[in-house]
Structure 1
Amino acid sequence: MGDGLSSFWGPVTSTDWCEKNYVHSSYIAEFYNTISNIPGILLALIGLINALRQRFEKRFSILHISNMILAIGSIIYHATLQRMQQQGDETPMVWEMLLYIYILYSPDWHYRSTMPTFLFFYGAGFAILHALFRFGIVFKIHYIILSLLCIPRMYKYYIHTTDVSAKWLAKLYLVTILLASICWLFDRLLCKEISFWYFNPQGHAFWHVLMGFNSYFANTFLMFCRAQQRGWDPKVVHFLVIFPYVKIQKPKSQ
């Protein structure tokens, strides 16, 4: 729904979404698509504090930080609707999926240095190419493929987990990603119809909120599974009754 409006940031040069631009502020192109990333930042902060407080492996702290960086990048992109900022949003999306692949597959990888080395150069190569070329559908297909690579491993962890609360985390992960995908498709495919409605349901904004929760549930589930692998006696408890997190009890030798 690009309308070519000039603003503080200039004409739209990135992909435009189904929200009218500069309705609430001349500094924020898509208001709801911008502020809807805030829950993801707060949830990632909760996860990061828990990971640091209980001294989980650094990979989980980096994962939570990457969630925050991704949400901040999305804020900048939707606030400006500029091509460079869109690429600054999309590149961390790929980096984050590579990090998930590492966390999911590295425990059974016998050659410890090869996987992180390969993923690092893959991520760096993608960043360079994405800076030089404007990927459209190619980026989406690439991102979907990376996401699908995670599913078999997530399912393996799910079937090998007997803890009911941990299984619920996996189920919440699945429900939120399905609902988020529906919101994304609804906003993208039915935009012309929505433009004639009395109000905009803000499907892309709901995508942001749901994916913030999705990442939080995924991270918490992976932390539980990793704690099980390390023999840390993990339990799923709740912060403020609503937010689940993993509480561990490390052996004294660790």
Structure 2
Amino acid sequence: MTRGVWHNEETCSVTRLTERQITMYLSSNIFAYHSSDVNWCEPDYEVSSFTIEFWNSISGIPMIVSSLIMISLNDDYTRLVPHCRYANVVWWLLAVTGVGSIYFHATLSLFGQFLDEIGIIWLGFAVLAMYAEPSVVFLPSSFNKNRTLYQSLMLVAAVVATTLSFVEPKFNHVWLFLFVVPVVRGVTMKKTRNLNMEKFQALGRNGLVLLALAVICWVLDRVFCPFMLSIRFPYLHAVWHILVLIAANMVFVFGAFDYANQTASKHEPYLAFLPLLGSYVGIWYVAFRLPNRKST
């Protein structure tokens, strides 16, 4: 099977391809190994006879671990920030994406592909719903006065995107990279508004840099697989998982802090860092200077 490309047989007609897709979606074969048309650069079964892409698979574990930690740290945020009672849905969806990634790369099954990519779609819209301003997604300023309506619109958009993904799975990658536009736009807008906050500025800037590096890894693994094989490092998709996770933590918390600073400033939100491996590897989160609680 050729690496890093969609494996559609050139001899198939459009009608036959459509019938094949519909059949695969509805049959139990969606759970079968290699039932997905996607394969990444990492050699199959290189480490384990049960796991097709071992390193791509286990690199999804940090997504689950970090998400559960964030949920435990986010109690004050969901309680104090308006319209963010269900903000932890962002981190639960990141955990689901981690599970989907592990399963997908272990089996390269169509079910795993949908679990992974649809999880990303819902995660993207959840972040926009919770932390982004309507103008970030080019909506009129009138939506600023009705946050519930804006969040409902993001929910509808997620449903539409999911439906399109079932119609044509290649749309999933389109959505993945379309989310980069509001991320960059949102970080740029918020950085301009808070020029006097050095830690806040650095968090947004570093998040974008890591996101750019992650995208480069994705492209190299997807498009330049023969070259990566020639230098004996076909593992950039696993590197993408790690880099995009770190970037996501930074960008999501960047947006969460800015929103809390606008809507719950009386609770004095601030950026906190929980070290996990030494002083430099850890998780950013939004904390509050509450009475009888020491700041970190």
TM-score, normalised on structure 1?
0.86
In the TM superposition, what is the alpha-carbon distance from 1:16 to its structure 2 partner?
Answer: 0.1
| 1:211 maps to 2:244 | yes
* Aligned-partner residue type, residue 74 of structure 1: S
2:147 aligns with 112
> Please, which of 287, 290, 296 is the counterpart of residue 247 of structure 1?
287
User: SS of the counterpart of 2:286?
Assistant: strand
Aligned-residue sequence identity (percent) comes to 23
Return 183-192 or 47-56, whichever deviates more.
47-56
Question: Is contact 1:47-1:216 (8 Å) kept?
Answer: no
| 1:122 maps to 2:145 | no
Q: Partners in 2 of 1:40 and 1:212 — Cα distance?
A: 7
Structure 2 stretches of 5 or more lacking a match?
A: 8-30, 135-140
Question: Is contact 1:41-1:212 (8 Å) kept?
Answer: no
1:101 aligns with 128
* Aligned-partner residue type, residue 286 of structure 2: V
Report the aligned-residue RMSD.
2.6
Question: Is contact 1:40-1:211 (8 Å) kept?
Answer: no
Question: Is contact 1:227-1:248 (8 Å) kept?
Answer: no
* Aligned-partner residue type, residue 234 of structure 1: P
In the TM superposition, what is the alpha-carbon distance from 1:201 to its structure 2 partner?
Answer: 4.6
Structure 1 stretches of 5 or more lacking a match?
A: none
Higher relative contact order (CA 8 A, sep 6+): 1
From the superposition, tell whether residues 251 and 152 of structure 1 become closer, same or farther in structure 2 (CA, over 3 Å). farther
Q: Deviations over 1:187-227 (max 9, x none)?
A: 11211122233x22511000000011111111221222122
From the superposition, tell whether residues 149 and 53 of structure 1 become closer, same or farther in structure 2 (CA, over 3 Å). closer
Q: Partners in 2 of 1:38 and 1:125 — Cα distance?
A: 29
In the TM superposition, what is the alpha-carbon distance from 1:42 to its structure 2 partner?
Answer: 2.1
TM-score, normalised on structure 2?
0.75
Q: Deviations over 1:61-93 (max 9, x none)?
A: 111111111111111111110122212211121
Question: Is contact 1:14-1:86 (8 Å) kept?
Answer: no
Q: Deviations over 1:131-175 (max 9, x none)?
A: 3x2322x33233322331232222111111222112111112111
Q: Partners in 1 of 2:38 and 2:213 — Cα distance?
A: 22
From the superposition, tell whether residues 11 and 234 of structure 1 become closer, same or farther in structure 2 (CA, over 3 Å). closer
